[in-house]
Amino acid sequence: MFDFENLEVYKKAKAFNSVVRNSILIPGTLDAATKNQLRRAALSIVLNIAEGTSRFSKPDRRNFCVIARGSVFECVAIFDMLNDDNQLSIDLFRDLYSQSEEISKMLFAMIRNLES
């Protein structure tokens, strides 16, 4: 088993990515540019958490957490625009927003713990 697989933030990011894929990134729901950007941002969270655990120095690990957190913010901005355009139900928006906030807080705690 790889170290990242034991991290709660990784598990939550994977679950978040699954919700995004199965509820928003379905055929015929979004324009191609938004769909691609959201897919990439949601996947980036998971992958940067995983890749960060492979690094030996705290600054390197911290950098990957910072990038993952930035991708969370990117997803939230997309959700906000989709919500404004009535392309998300209010329940789905709230659920994704809540999950995003939780992941962001976990990553922020990791970032703080990895500061020199």
Report pLDDT digits (tens) over 58-115: 999 999 999 999 999 999 999 999 999 999 999 999 999 999 999 999 999 999 999 9
**What domains appear along the chain, each with residue ranges and CATH number?**
3-113 (1.20.1440.60)
What is the distance between the alpha carbons of residues 20 and 112, in angstroms, rounded to a whole number?
A: 27
What is the distance between the alpha carbons of residues 93 and 63, in angstroms, rounded to a whole number?
A: 28
- pTM score, whole prediction: 0.96
DSSP-derived 3-state class of residue 74: helix
- Residue 68 neighbours by CB under 8 Å, 6+ apart: 13, 44, 45, 48, 49, 52, 107
| Angle 85-96-17 from CA coordinates, rounded to 5° | 110
Q: CB–CB of 80/31 below 8 Å?
A: no
